[in-house]
Amino acid sequence: MPHLTPLSWLLRLPAHLVNGLTVALGIGLVQVLFGTQASLHAAQLAASGAVLSSLADLPNTVARSWRRVLLAAVLGCASALLIALLIRHPRLLGLAIMALTFGAMMTMVWGPRAGPVSFAPLLSIVFTMSVPPSQSPWELVGWYLAGAAVYLGWSQAVVALLQARYRSLALASALQATAQLLRSRAGVMEGSSEAGDEGASLLSWLRDEALLADRLQAARDLLFAAPDSARARQQSAILLRAIDLRDILLASRLDLDLLGVDGFARQVRSGLALQLREMAAELDRAQDAVRGWAPGPAGPTGRQHLVELLASAPLPAEDPRNRLLPALVDRVRHLADDVTAIHALLRQPPEHLPLSTEELQLFVAPEGWPLSAFKAHRTLASPIVRHALRASLALGAAYYIGLVLPWASHPQWLVLSVAVVLRGNLEQTLSRRNVRVAGTLLGCLIVMALAHVPSTTALMVIFLAAAGMAHSFAVERYLVTASAATVMALLQAHLAHPATGFPIVERLADTVIGALMAWAFCFVLPSWERRSLPRSLPRLMLALQAYAREALRRHDPDDAESAVAQRLARRQAYDALGLLAVALQRSSAEPRRVQLPVPELTRLLDHAQRLMAHLSMVRLMRVHQGPELDQPEAVRALQDAEQTLDGLLAPATLHHDTAPAGASDSLELLPDKPPTEDLLPWLLRRLKVTEKDAADVAQAARSALLVVRRRRG
């Protein structure tokens, strides 16, 4: 193994570990600075301000990062001041905790980006209540602000220094998730003929789809905002190829059911799955190169594998499946071309991108924090308002219960346990409940061992390591975060007020009680997933309708504006499908009487994905079109299909059964000639089955709404 320098060792770390390491170093800088210039007590208070700020310090652009870190610092310090002023008034303090919790949860109107920011006031409550009541409120907040200010400067310097590295790691993560999606698709292909495996494979596919969507958006936010350079163009071009590859991969599922279930069909599916896995391995090598590691030797792309497989076991000439096989080979070729293009881009950056810098910015997630976002959440029907009320009641109850427990001197631990376990839905809360209890137990065992460490300096170093680990694994592996956060919280309280010792038994008891309380409060003002279905289904229909228009409408190849519109419509359709899939997964943990209609929504997702795949195939045909697609018959067919889909996917069809049954699909309807010889018949057939799946989407959506209405009645 080659010798690794500290810098090369750092470059080999994934983004979340790099981020966690820099967070720990920043908090350590605050401790050292204030410890040498003031006192150890002041250093720990300043470090608390730094920890509050660090919650929002994630890999991002400089412009986005400083706003989020500053907002977390301001909210955390403001909460600390209110808690410190009321610390001698226990009854009023409980009301203040409820008010702060409600305000913190309402910040979620700004979307997931507000998640780390929203937790800063809650963690501030715990930190401030751990400080002796004799501490001056203004002095305490002054140290918090000073530590937060130093950390803000540190974080922005680090973000600016690591921008290039963060962009590379974001792209590598997107490629890694794309490779995983290829493997999931391979599993679906192999399990498609076995009913027992199909459900599990499809669920895995949907989870990996959601992961890829998150990774792609994170990469867009970093890469598309980068200043123009050869490196930036190279990374953006690779990301655009990965996005297109995802689109083609979705189309790879089409027509496989026409193969049947005999030995030959299983052999073809296995061959396709093998090639997808080979392409996934190629993407793994590509992401190694993006990270700066030496990529392995290039393996076979699998382009000829299926051709060789079919040649070794030919079908009888009269078997109608012979019509389908050339189309399957063609799809594999398109996938392999995109993988090959990604490797080519690694060797030679492009001179120009298909989209301009201004056009790329349209795909970056919005960053603003407008007060107008609250307008849509002024009623109890809002899931965010309901969760904010639920959380404020839960944390208030936890505080007042903590006052009457035998270990009433630490009610903040019970508040913290409820705060970290209680999520916006039951599925996430149950997951957090179990992991949090296990993580706290492990953290308490670690602190029991640390209680015998006499060195305050050693404990401070361990506190920093725990802070970095808790930050690093918050998304990747919450068990590590729960354990590290327990160590961090107990050490923070001990270092800020050594006389308290290590209340390990109380901490563990508080965690168990808090986890049970968080679970119980999930049933207070619940936001069951079915409540949002009447709003989410029309949005999905509109998104699919918009993408159908863009995919079928005739575009000038040189018209950049239409290309941007098509890409935006495609992303919005993917996002709408992803939200519905996540809602269906979350609903599985809810009481059976309020669950979403699983069979109907599963059919809806299946047909919607097929519809997206059909539209992708039509788009590919038009991109690589021959002269026959300029014929009046083709133009007229595309126009007719656009009008038909526009009607089938209109939200009004959710209330009126106006959809036609659609055409059937069978091997006999496949054109005699392969698409490479005569594309027009394949286009006409593709449009017909597209209309069929659009009709099935509308029918499944109507059925889901009817089931929900009957259950309410």
Model confidence over 527-549: pLDDT tens digits? Answer: 888 888 888 999 999 999 999 99
- pLDDT over 70 at 194, yes or no: no
589 backbone dihedrals φ, ψ, rounded to 5°:
-90, -5
Number of residues in the chain: 713
Nearest-angstrom CA–CA distance, 701 and 653: 9
Alpha-helix residue ranges (DSSP H) falling in 451-597: 456-472, 478-496, 504-521, 533-552, 560-587
Q: Which helix (H) or strand (E) holds 81?
A: helix 62-86
Nearest-angstrom CA–CA distance, 302 and 432: 42
What's residue 559's pLDDT?
A: 61
Q: Is the dihedral of CA 525, 530, 532, 535 positive or negative?
A: negative
What's residue 625's pLDDT?
A: 62
What's residue 668's pLDDT?
A: 60
Mean pLDDT of all residues belonging to the chain = 83
Nearest-angstrom CA–CA distance, 585 and 48: 37
Query: What percent of the chain lies above the pLDDT cut of 70?
Result: 87
For the chain, the structural domain boundaries read 9-161+381-521, 166-357, 531-654+673-712
Q: Which of 414, 435, 613, 652 is nearest to 521 (CA)?
A: 414
202: confidence class by pLDDT, cuts 50, 70, 90: low
- pLDDT over 90 at 203, yes or no: no
Q: What is the dihedral angle through the alpha carbons of 204, 114, 233, 252, rounded to the nearest 10 degrees?
A: 20
More confident residue, 662 or 93: 93
CB neighbours of residue 529 within 10 Å: 26
Angstrom CA distances, 359 to 363, 434, 544, 630, stand at 8, 45, 22, 28
295: confidence class by pLDDT, cuts 50, 70, 90: low
Judge contact between 42 and 143, C-beta under 8 A.
yes
What's residue 195's pLDDT?
A: 44
What's residue 545's pLDDT?
A: 93
- Paired tokens of 636: 């007229």
Taking only the tens place, the pLDDT of each residue in 485-527 is 878 777 776 776 666 666 677 777 888 888 899 999 999 998 8
Nearest-angstrom CA–CA distance, 478 and 471: 10
Angstrom CA distances, 490 to 68, 417, 435, 441, 466, stand at 27, 13, 18, 13, 11
What's residue 196's pLDDT?
A: 45
Average pLDDT over residues 551-570: 76
Q: Which of 705, 693, 692 is nearest to 651 (CA)?
A: 705
CB neighbours of residue 623 within 10 Å: 11
Judge contact between 395 and 97, C-beta under 8 A.
yes
What's residue 306's pLDDT?
A: 60
- The structure's pTM equals 0.86
- pLDDT over 80 at 297, yes or no: no
More confident residue, 463 or 85: 85
Query: What percent of the chain lies above the pLDDT cut of 90?
Result: 27
Average pLDDT over residues 572-577: 89
What's residue 713's pLDDT?
A: 54
What's residue 268's pLDDT?
A: 82
Widest CA span of the chain, in angstroms?
91
Average pLDDT over residues 354-364: 85
Give 450's contacts (C-beta < 8 A, 6+ positions apart): 459, 462, 487, 491, 502
436: confidence class by pLDDT, cuts 50, 70, 90: confident
Average pLDDT over residues 141-167: 94
CB neighbours of residue 299 within 10 Å: 12
Judge contact between 608 and 540, C-beta under 8 A.
yes
Average pLDDT over residues 237-264: 83
What's residue 565's pLDDT?
A: 85
- pLDDT over 80 at 10, yes or no: no
Q: Which helix (H) or strand (E) holds 182?
A: helix 163-191
Angstrom CA distances, 670 to 326, 624, 674, 682, 698, stand at 11, 20, 9, 7, 25
Nearest-angstrom CA–CA distance, 254 and 610: 7
Please give the angle made by the CA atoms of 392, 396 and 402, to the nearest 5 degrees.
Answer: 150
9: confidence class by pLDDT, cuts 50, 70, 90: low
Give 608's contacts (C-beta < 8 A, 6+ positions apart): 540, 544, 577, 693, 697
- pLDDT over 80 at 616, yes or no: yes
**Tell me, what amino acid is at 45?**
L
Average pLDDT over residues 231-245: 91
- Paired tokens of 17: 């570990």
- pLDDT over 70 at 298, yes or no: no
Judge contact between 705 and 600, C-beta under 8 A.
no
1: confidence class by pLDDT, cuts 50, 70, 90: very low
Taking only the tens place, the pLDDT of each residue in 22-40 is 998 999 899 899 988 888 8
Judge contact between 470 and 484, C-beta under 8 A.
yes
Nearest-angstrom CA–CA distance, 54 and 441: 25
What's residue 388's pLDDT?
A: 95
Q: Which of 275, 255, 278, 277 is nearest to 326 (CA)?
A: 255
Angstrom CA distances, 431 to 71, 204, 211, 422, 515, stand at 29, 18, 18, 10, 11
Judge contact between 598 and 584, C-beta under 8 A.
yes
Taking only the tens place, the pLDDT of each residue in 127-151 is 898 888 878 899 999 999 999 999 9
- pLDDT over 70 at 353, yes or no: yes
Please give the angle made by the CA atoms of 151, 153 and 157, to the nearest 5 degrees.
Answer: 115
In the DSSP assignment, the letter for residue 699 is H
What's residue 193's pLDDT?
A: 46
**Tell me, what amino acid is at 542?**
L
Give 68's contacts (C-beta < 8 A, 6+ positions apart): 56, 57, 58, 60, 113, 116, 117
- Residue-wise DSSP of 634-688: HHHHHHHHHHHHHHHTSGGGGTS----------GGGS-SS-TTT-HHHHHHHHHH
More confident residue, 116 or 457: 116
Average pLDDT over residues 205-229: 86
User: Which residue pairs, CB below 8 angstroms and at least 24 apart, start in 531-535?
Assistant: 531/381, 531/383, 532/383, 532/583, 533/583, 533/596, 533/704, 533/705, 533/708, 534/705, 534/708
- Paired tokens of 466: 């725990």
Q: What is the 3-state secondary structure (H, E, C) of 327-382?
A: HHHHHHHHHHHHHHHHHHHHHCCCCCCCCCHHHHHCCCCCCCCCHHHHHHHCCCCC
Please give the angle made by the CA atoms of 237, 242 and 247, to the nearest 5 degrees.
Answer: 125
What's residue 412's pLDDT?
A: 84
